[in-house]
Each structure stands twice: as structure tokens, then as C-alpha cells.
Amino acid sequence: MATIRVPDEVPSPAQDSETLNQAFRGWGTDEKAIIRVLGKRNESQRKRIRESYREIYGKDLIDVLTSELSGDFMKAVVLWTYDPAERDARLANNVLNGKKKSIDKLKIILEISCTTSPNHLIAVRKAYCSLFDSSLEEHIASSVPFPLAKLLVTLATSFRYDKDMADTEVATIEAGMLREAITAKQLDHDHVLYILGTRSIYQLRATFVAYKQSYGNTLDKDVDGCPGDTDLKSLLQMVILCIESPEKHFAKVVSDSIEGFGTDEDSLTRAIVTRAEVDLMKARGEYFNMYNTSMDNATIGDVSGDYKNFLLTFLGSKI
């Protein structure tokens, strides 16, 4: 369930473009106008605004936003204004071009692969090739160490059946295959990758249920207890959570980003902006269940200014 609120009556793309252009003129920038327009438009409307702005003013709206705004507010607005496939392609590219490819960074590729629709993942891969003259999977294979690359390439190249169907017999058989791999301490076994990379989300959820029924523990717990590559175990546990409940995963991302000293604004922005048109309402509910406070209040208490106001447009605020 999305959280974005689009007004009943929306100006034309040309009118929105004019409002934005006016917001950029003069000595200062009218940030409230930018939030009021872009924060209240859906994917197709933002695309038309970007097209209209280029047609009328001869400039890419993304370039203008990057020039006129700054800091975390600029990053959030730009990320939101991108077409979702281009947005995710750029997020993945930033990870793969970074010097430090920590698990916290690599999970972005995992999120794109496991919490979006099959058609969206195909669109991301096409956008990646168009933008960066390389396929996503080639870039992963050439820049991420083994066996993490093996897992990420498998997930990034999947095209899952997306109907709500599951075969309980297959679930039981494949739960046994997963158990064998864990017992043999082979978390990167081809059977593990085959199952996680080809089965539908609904089939995998049935397999996870069958695993617990057959072996007493959750798959997540047994992966955690299996000796071996710590980073691989961490990624596999994220895969399991993203498949079982993407809402819980992103609730955790938000919590981790604001927990302790300092704020991880990039992770906070990514979680809220990329899920605002997908399932942010459910993630907010899971956040309350997990942490006994609202995501809205947690965000308000940790960020400020225009950046805060922009994020709050996706969390139910009437700003």
C-alpha cells in the first residue's frame, strides 16, 4: 500500500513545470513549492513534468534540482524525481562503483532484486545497460567478491512467476534441499541459489514454512548458526526477510538509519522514497509493531528542515 497523496485536481505538466521554474528564480529557492508539486505527484505525473520541463525550458529538471538544491533534501528530491527503474539502476551503480562494498551497501542490490516486481527488475536491468554501457550482472560479477557475487548475480537475473500460487510438495522437497546445504555447511550450494533465484515469492514463503515444520527452526535461524562466510550469511538472511516480509525489512532499514549517534540519511531516504509508491503504509505498520513508536515520530525526531518536510509528505503529513 502506497502512502503518496495525489490531489483530486492536479495542474497540467506545463503548469507544474512553470511552478517549479518560478521556485528556482530569484535569490533563493522556494523549497515549499518544490515539495508541494513533486511530493504530491505519482510516477507517471512526475515523468510528464520532467518531459514538459525539458520541452519548455530546454533543461533537464534533474540537473536543475541538483544545481538549485543541496544536501540531503536535494538527494531525496532528485531520487524521487527519477523514473523508478532509472532510480534503482543508479542506486545499484553507486554501490558497485564505491570503494567499500560493505554488506550494508550490497543489500541495496538485494532489495532491488527481491522486493520489486519481475517486470520492474527487467526495467532496471535495461536502464542499467542504457545508462552505464554495462549490464548489471556483469558489473556485479566484476566488482563484488565471490561467493557474494554468485548470490547477487543469481538474484539480479531472476524473473519470478508473480501469481499467488504455491506447490506444497515442492516446498517440502526444496526445504529438504536447503537443509542438506546447511548441514553440509555449503550456503553457496547451487541448490540454494537455484531455489532462491528461480522460485516465486509465494513458493519461497511456502518453502520457508515447510522448513520450520520439518526441522523445528526457521531457515533464518539455521543459516545464522551455520559456520562459514559471515557476509554470505548476512546477505542470505536479508534475502529471507525480504522475501518473507519486505515491509519488515524496510521498517528495520529505517530504524537502523536513525538508531544511535548520528543518522544514515542515505538509507533513510532510500527506504522512504523507494517504497512510497509500493508498500510504505505496511512498512509503517510493521515499524510500530516492531518498535512501539510510529515511523513518522521517529523521523521527525531525527531530521529537520526541508528534508524532514519532504520525507513527511510520504508518511502521511499534509505539508
Q: Which one of 136, 157, 178 terminates a domain? A: 157
Residue 6 domain-assigned? no
Residue 1 domain-assigned? no
Same domain, 177 and 197: yes
Q: Give me the half-sphere count of Cα atoms (radius 13 Å) on the Cβ side of residue 226.
A: 27
Beta strand segments in the chain, E: none
Burial per residue of 21-41, b for 16 or more beta-carbon CB atoms within 10 angstroms, e otherwise: eebbeeeebbbeebbbbbbbb
Q: Measured between alpha carbons, how far is 282 from 270 in angstroms, rounded to an integer?
A: 16
pLDDT at 317: 60
Same domain, 228 and 288: no
CA distances from 84 to 104, 173, 217, 310 (A): 21, 37, 37, 18
Helices 246-258 and 265-275 meet at what angle, rounded to 10?
Answer: 150
CB 264 within 8 A of CB 107: no
pTM score, two decimals?
A: 0.95
147 preceded by cis ω (within 30°)?
yes
Phi, psi (rounded to 5 degrees) for 227: -60, 150
Domain with residue 88: its CATH number is 1.10.220.10
Same domain, 131 and 192: no
CB 140 within 8 A of CB 101: no
pLDDT at 261: 79
Residue 99 domain-assigned? yes
Q: What is the pLDDT along the chain (319 residues), one digit of tens a residue?
A: 767 888 889 999 999 999 999 999 978 899 999 999 999 999 999 999 999 999 999 999 999 999 999 999 999 999 999 999 999 999 999 999 999 899 999 999 999 999 999 999 999 999 999 999 999 999 999 999 999 999 999 999 999 999 999 999 999 999 999 999 999 999 999 999 999 999 999 999 999 999 999 999 999 999 999 998 999 999 999 999 999 999 999 999 999 999 877 899 999 999 999 999 999 999 999 999 999 999 999 999 899 999 999 999 999 765 5
Q: Structural domain tally of the chain?
A: 4
Burial per residue of 184-220, b for 16 or more beta-carbon CB atoms within 10 angstroms, e otherwise: eeebbbeebbebbbebbbbbbbbbbbbbeeebeeebb
Same domain, 88 and 153: yes
Residue 209 domain-assigned? yes
CB neighbour class for 132 (10 Å; exposed up to 12, middle 13-18, buried from 19): middle
CB 261 within 8 A of CB 275: no
Q: Which one of 28, 45, 69 terminates a domain? A: 69
Q: Which residues contact 282 (CB under 8 A, 6 or more apart)?
A: 1, 247
CB 253 within 8 A of CB 267: yes
92: nearest Cα among 111, 115, 109: 109
Residue 77 domain-assigned? no
Amino acid at site 241:
L
Look up the domain containing 126 and give its range.
84-157
Same domain, 61 and 104: no
Q: Give me the half-sphere count of Cα atoms (radius 13 Å) on the Cβ side of residue 52.
A: 17
pLDDT at 27: 81
